């Protein structure tokens, strides 16, 4: 008997998790690498100290993370309402809750990766 955990839609749970981890993880990795490079380059190019550079870089990462998280939860919360409004007001933008959630998850993941990247590089350079 197949004992693979399954979702209500009868799809295998692991592939469902893997898809989502890949979606957010690749964005987070990109954000982390960009943040590390960004901090190092800014330290070399500008006269600002590590505290100022890490504050600005972390804040930018947090901005992306906050925007992504808010956008994702907003899409889940009000997605059907927005889809309805789009449909009845004939806006023809093809906006969908699914697409929005995926996009916001990537933006949020990118921001989170950036925040972690700034913490990592700053902790190393602080010593």
Partner 1 sequence: MASKWFVVKRLLLLVPVLLGVATLVFAVLHISPGDPARVMAGQRASQEQVEMVRQEIGLSDPIWVQYGRFLADTAQLKLGESYVLRPNQSVASILKNSIPTTIELAVYGQLIGILLGLPLGVISAIKQDSITDHITRIGALTGISVPIFWSGPIVIILFSVTLGIFPTNGRIAQQYFLSDTWLFFGHELPRTGLITLDTLLLARYDAFVSAVRHLVLPASVIGFYSMALISRMMRSSMLEVVRQDYIRTARAKGQGERITFLKHGLKNAFIPVITVIGIQFGTLLGGAVLTETVFGIEGIGMILVDAIDVGDYPVVQGTVLVFALLFTLVNLGVDITYSYLDPRIQQ
CB of 34 to partner 1, least distance (A): 16
Choose among 18, 117, 22: nearest CA to 65. 117
Length of the chain: 127
CA 61, 42, 26, 123 dihedral sign is: negative
Residue 92: phi and psi, rounded to 5, are: 60, 35
Reading the block at residue 3, the tokens are: 């004992």
CB of 119 to partner 1, least distance (A): 5
Build a one-symbol-per-residue string for 5-44: x at contacts with partner 1 by CB under 8 A, - elsewhere: ----------------------------------------
Count residues near partner 1 (CB under 8 A). Answer: 36
Residues at the contact surface with partner 1, assessed by CB under 8 A: 51, 54-56, 58-60, 62-63, 65-74, 76-78, 80-82, 84-85, 87-90, 115, 118-119, 122, 126
């Amino acid at each position: 008997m197949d004992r693979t955990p399954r979702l209500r839609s009868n799809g295998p749970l692991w592939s469902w998790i893997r898809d989502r981890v890949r979606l957010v993880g690749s964005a987070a990795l990109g954000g982390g690498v960009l943040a590390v490079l960004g901090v190092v380059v800014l330290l070399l190019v500008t006269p600002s100290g590590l505290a100022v550079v890490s504050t600005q870089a972390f804040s930018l990462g947090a901005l992306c993370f906050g925007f992504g998280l808010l956008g994702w939860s907003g899409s889940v919360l009000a997605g059907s309402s927005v889809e309805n409004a789009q449909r009845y007001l004939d806006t023809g933008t093809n906006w969908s809750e699914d697409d929005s959630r995926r996009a916001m998850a990537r933006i949020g993941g990118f921001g989170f990766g950036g925040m972690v990247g700034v913490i990592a590089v700053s902790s190393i350079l602080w010593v």
